[in-house]
Amino acid sequence: MKIAIVGTSGAVGQEFLRVLDERNFPIDELVLFGSARSAGNVYEFRDKQYEVKELKHNDDFKDIDIAFVSAGGSVSVEFAETITKHGAIMIDNSSAFRMDKDVPLVVPEVNGDDAKVRPKGIIANPNCSTIQMVVAMNVIEKISHIKRAHVATYQAASGAGAAAMDELINQFKQIAYNTDVTVEKFAYQLAYNLIPQIDVFTDNGYTKEELKMYNETRKIMHSEIEVSATCIRVPVLRSHSEVIWVETDRPVSVEEAKAAFSKAEGVILQDNPAEKEYPMPLFAAGKDPVYVGRIRQDIANPNGLTLWVVADQIKKGAALNAVQIAEYLIKEKAI
């Protein structure tokens, strides 16, 4: 496989290098791309040094099979044609094409087959908070159809990129040393705080992040499910956590749910409250699975089940899911 990474110097770009190596992804040739600012940066991959090339409108993608792209929506829109025109498959981590009807939006555990039909040569990687939610909800959906879900998210600084993670670390240091606190990447100081806003507000009072969870979930699950989300930024470095309240057609027991989660692909059931065993973002960081715990019958809804779901936002929420899409295509000979 000839692989390109676009946006190599970012948090997700760096994770692509780690994930591709960890998973022994078959790579004959690797080309790294970035902005004019990061061009010239050198990264090591499997004991070889690679220099980042500036992304330009030329024929650099002529021999590329798969391009993993994570450089923001405007770069994806501007360069989609350049990347795909010679046949490369663009697996895009931005939100630019997610709701395009000619672009599949894929989480391999849920709708891998959608990746086989890609009229534009683009496959979109969903938003991180959506990915972990649908991996968990799909397990319940197979038992009984989910009519609606309410979700509250607790999203790590990593969702806003590497510089935002640095800002959080620095804020804790600045507070400890009693110096001025730098606030650039978030609307407010995040250290010792929660910020009930991720992305911008829309006319109905929901933020764009919250509406992504509504729209993307319906597309991925091929469902008319109603999703009401409230997304909160929390002072955690790199794993997103979510409380999900699902309402199913028929009541699903805790035992049924646990049995299904314990066998589900990509999921680790961590649910033994008596022994204080439940998922936590500190321990999910750097790991591949979606962790599920605190499974309860919802006492406010006879058809309701409550879940606590934690996953590493940069891994399953971004780089790993994109690499798994590529692995799926190879496995299914759909490339």
171 is in an annotated binding site: no
Angle of the 11-22 helix axis to the 320-331 helix axis, nearest 10:
40
Residue 194's φ and ψ, nearest 5 degrees, are -130, 145
Count CB neighbours of 116 within 10 A.
15
| Residue number, 189 or 303, with CB nearest to ligand 2RA | 189
Choosing from 57, 86, 128, 222, which is the catalytic residue? 128
Strands (E), the chain: 2-6, 29-34, 42-45, 48-51, 53-54, 66-69, 89-92, 122-124, 146-155, 226-233, 239-248, 267-269, 290-297, 304-312
Choosing from 86, 145, 150, 240, which is the catalytic residue? 240
Rounded-to-integer distance, Cα 251 and Cα 247, Å: 8
| Residue number, 130 or 248, with CB nearest to ligand 2RA | 130
10 is in an annotated binding site: yes
Q: Quote the least distance from Cβ 159 to ligand 2RA, whole Å.
A: 2
155 is in an annotated binding site: yes
Tell me the β-bridge partners of 246: 149, 305
Fill in the amino acid letter for 66. Answer: I
Residue 211's φ and ψ, nearest 5 degrees, are -75, -30
Report the residue number whose CB is nearest to ligand 2RA.
159
Count CB neighbours of 62 within 10 A.
11
189 is in an annotated binding site: no
3-state secondary structure of 20: helix
Element (H, E) at 106: none
Q: Quote the least distance from Cβ 41 to ligand 2RA, whole Å.
A: 23
Q: Quote the least distance from Cβ 226 to ligand 2RA, whole Å.
A: 20
Element (H, E) at 12: helix 11-22
DSSP readout, 312-326? ETTIIIIIHHHHHHH
112 is in an annotated binding site: no
250 is in an annotated binding site: no
Rounded-to-integer distance, Cα 170 and Cα 184, Å: 12
Q: Quote the least distance from Cβ 47 to ligand 2RA, whole Å.
A: 32
Q: Quote the least distance from Cβ 43 to ligand 2RA, whole Å.
A: 23
| Residue number, 207 or 248, with CB nearest to ligand 2RA | 207
9 is in an annotated binding site: yes
313 is in an annotated binding site: yes
Sign for the pseudo-dihedral over CA of 67, 69, 74, 77:
positive
Binding site for ligand 2RA (CB under 6 A): 127-129, 155, 159-160, 198, 209
| Residue number, 168 or 269, with CB nearest to ligand 2RA | 168
| Residue number, 12 or 295, with CB nearest to ligand 2RA | 12
Residue 304's φ and ψ, nearest 5 degrees, are -110, 150
| Residue number, 88 or 91, with CB nearest to ligand 2RA | 91
Residue 319's φ and ψ, nearest 5 degrees, are -60, -45
Q: Quote the least distance from Cβ 299 to ligand 2RA, whole Å.
A: 30
231 classed as catalytic: no
Rounded-to-integer distance, Cα 118 and Cα 26, Å: 22
Q: Which residues are catalytic?
A: 128, 240
Annotated binding residues for substrate: 155, 233
Annotated binding residues for NADP(+): 9-12, 37-38, 158-159, 313
